[in-house]
Each structure stands twice: as C-alpha cells, then as structure tokens.
Amino acid sequence: MTPGAAVPRALRAAALLLGLAALGATFWHGLAEPGTALAFGTLVAAGELARWGGAPDTGAPAVDEDLRESEPAPLGAAGALAYALLGASAGTPTTHGVLQTVAVVLAGALAGIVPHIARGRGPGRDHLARRVLTAGFAALCFQPLYNSGVLTEHLGQGPAYVLFLLLLLVLTALCDAVLAALVLRARTGYPYGSVLRDELHGLLGIRSAVCATGAVMALAVAAAGLWALPVLAVPLLLTQVSHRRYAAVRTVNRQTIASLARATEIAGCTAPGHAHRVAALSTAVGRELGLTGPELTVLEHAALMHDIGQLSLVDPVPGGATAQLPADEQRRIALLGGEVVRRTGVPAAVALVVERQADPYREQPRAARIVRVVNAYDDLVGAGADAGAALGALERLRLGTARDYHPDVVECLARVLARGGAAGVTSAAPG
C-alpha cells in the first residue's frame, strides 16, 4: 500500500471507529431529546437526497473550480454543523453531547445517500468520512464546554457567544479543508500546498454560506425552537438549486470546448488525443506551479483549443506538430487560433493564452508558457512514448530555454512526469 493510499484509508478508519462508537453509545444510553434529533437527522438526510453531485466518485480530479471538491450537499452540511453547535432548543438546554451528534449525523447521511447508491450514483466513502469527522470535531469543541456551563458562565448569550461560534465555524471549515486536501493529494499526487490553496479558496464560496447557515440555525433553534429549521433551510435549498443550474451551464460550456478541440483531430490537423493530453498535462503543471481555481480553468480551456488555428491552414502541418515550425509560422497559427476562440464566446482570457502561446516566453502570460512547453513536449513524444523518448524531449526543451521555453515550466514538467504524469494521460515517466 502506497503512502498516498494510506491517508484516505486512515480517515475512513477513523470515521468508522468514531461512527461505531457513537451509534453504540447512543443505543446503550438512549436518545436524548428524540424530537430534536429526528428533526436534525431528517434535515441532514434531505440535504444528502438533494445533493447536486450525482456522479460516481471515481477519484479523477475536476479542473473546474465549481466542480472541484466543492460541498455537494450544502443543506446536509449546514444541518450537521447546526446540530453540533446546538446548545438549547426554545430556551431549554439540550444534552445530546458529542457522540449522539455524530450518531444522528451519520444516520441521517446514510439515510440520504442510500437512494443514490441504489441508482449507482452514490457519493464516495471519503465524503461520508469527512462529514462524520467534521461534525465530530465541531461537537467536540462545543458540546463539553456548553454542557458543563463553562461557556455560558464566561461568555453569556450575547455578542461574545456569537463570536465564539464564529471562531468554531472557522476552525471547522479549516479542518474540513485540510481533510479534503489530504484526500485529493492522495488521489492525484498534486503538491499538497497547491491542493490546500484550492480548498481554502473554496471556503469563500458555497462553504461560507454553509457555515453561516449552520450557525444561524443553531442560534435560531435555541431561541425559537425547531420551527426555525424549515424557515432557514429554504434559502440554502434555493441556493443549491441555483448552483446546480449554474454548474449545468458550465458543464455544457466544457463539452462545447471539448468538441471544438476535437475538430482539429477530425480534420486530420492533429494526432488523436493530442488536445486532451496537452490539457491534462498542462493542468498538472499549472497546479505544480501554484495556479488555482479560475486560473486552472482558463489554462485547461486554452490547452484544449490551442491548435484550433490549424483549421485555417490550406496545407495541414505534418502530424500537427506546430512546435517544429518556424517561429513566424507558429505565431501566425496562434493568432488565427485566438481569433477563432474569440468568435466562439469563450472568455477573452482563454483567447489571449491561445494567441500568445508562440511568443517569446518573457512576453507570455504564465498559462501561455505552460501550454507552449506541454504542447512542444507532446509534439516531440506523442502518445505512448517510452522513457527514452521522454528524456530526449525534455532535453530538447531544456536546450530551448534561452528563448522559447520558460526554464521553470520545463523543470516543473519534468517533476510532473517523474511522478507519472497527469490523471488520464498515458505517458512514460523519465527514469
């Protein structure tokens, strides 16, 4: 078992042990405040039923910042967090504690994902493990302090108490981001720092709404009782529906870009799979260099469409290998490609990368430097190259670092290849 695979296994084992202990303790001691537990368990289950990520958890990294390890069941996450931070219901103190919190969250999550599993579209085990561990962390930080009276004795029920909840929300969100980054790092081999930055960037989106809703739910139920739950759940559910539609639009855009990228292969201008290989490897190099979120999306889309200018040529380039053309011809094809991309309605940032990919690297944006290096590498080795061809291609790229290829990008490409390349790309790693 590799060290990378050991991390998700350890997280699943920890979540399993915690879940079994929580279910056993709850069964042994009985359920405190059954009505409250049922309400929050139902909320968690409803959130999982309405999750927007129905695809199987294959472990393949998504480049799009909205489809990356984003929270697929925000209503369920908010309900779990609210129950972990619940100290009272309609003014009456609760006594459910840490283990019952975990048991209710686990039972609700399992009830919600069973229909997805029955259709073969259930979430991965890592998602459930993160839900259990995150809820357990929040409950462990809050429940003992509240139930012992220490929290209300020192902070009361005013602004200081709210600030304490906000601090716990931040710590819980950071805990979840660390867990998500560990899992993604183990799956992909990407640098942990880059993956963690992606996860922290995601905290500014839907996850911030989840944390805020969870805290407001806990405070509202403490003051008004369980009637506050449906009132506060509706806005987050509407947000979830809107985000699902937005994600669907982005998926259509990605499919359109992928179809345009295949046009060069169908026309015989480029080798089969060239655009896909360049996009996947460029994304891996971009992550290695610290690109995150929208930057990676622009990079991937530009890499997919980088050869579209060849459709304007009367005579196709032999093998589609533009890296071996004269500099002026490369620049002309790049400018033609940028013009085509602008007419497709793709963001201008993508067109800029396409049309600047043949410039001297000192004048290029970072994404264009990456596309140029990776495109040249794939032109030199093609699909299924052996280690000797990969080493030869890297050596030729290093010889061109005086003007054509940025040396940092070339060395970054070498590191990515040494780790086995990018997910979904078959390429020999230099030994």
How high is the pLDDT of residue 69?
A: 40
3-state secondary structure 296-341: HHHHHHHHHCCCHHHHHCCCCCHHHCHHHCCHHHHHHHHHHHHHHH
Confidence of residue 23 (pLDDT cuts 50, 70, 90): very high
How high is the pLDDT of residue 55?
A: 40
- Give pLDDT tens digits for 70-125: 556 788 888 999 999 998 888 888 989 999 999 999 999 998 888 877 777 666 68
Residues of the chain with CATH 1.10.3210.10: 267-418
Cα–Cα distance, 299 to 307 (Å, whole number): 14
Q: Which fold has domain 267-418?
A: Hypothetical protein af1432 (1.10.3210)
* Residue 426 clears pLDDT 70, i.e. is over it: no
How high is the pLDDT of residue 385?
A: 60
- Give pLDDT tens digits for 158-189: 788 888 888 898 899 888 888 888 888 877 77
DSSP 210: H
Six-digit token string for 407:
């040396």
How high is the pLDDT of residue 67?
A: 36
* Residue 316 clears pLDDT 90, i.e. is over it: no
Are the CB atoms for 44 and 104 separated by under 8 Å?
yes
95: Cα within 13 Å, side-chain hemisphere: 5
How high is the pLDDT of residue 388?
A: 73
Are the CB atoms for 80 and 131 separated by under 8 Å?
yes
Cα–Cα distance, 417 to 424 (Å, whole number): 13
How high is the pLDDT of residue 212?
A: 84
- Give pLDDT tens digits for 246-301: 777 777 777 778 777 787 777 777 778 888 889 989 998 998 888 877 888 889 99
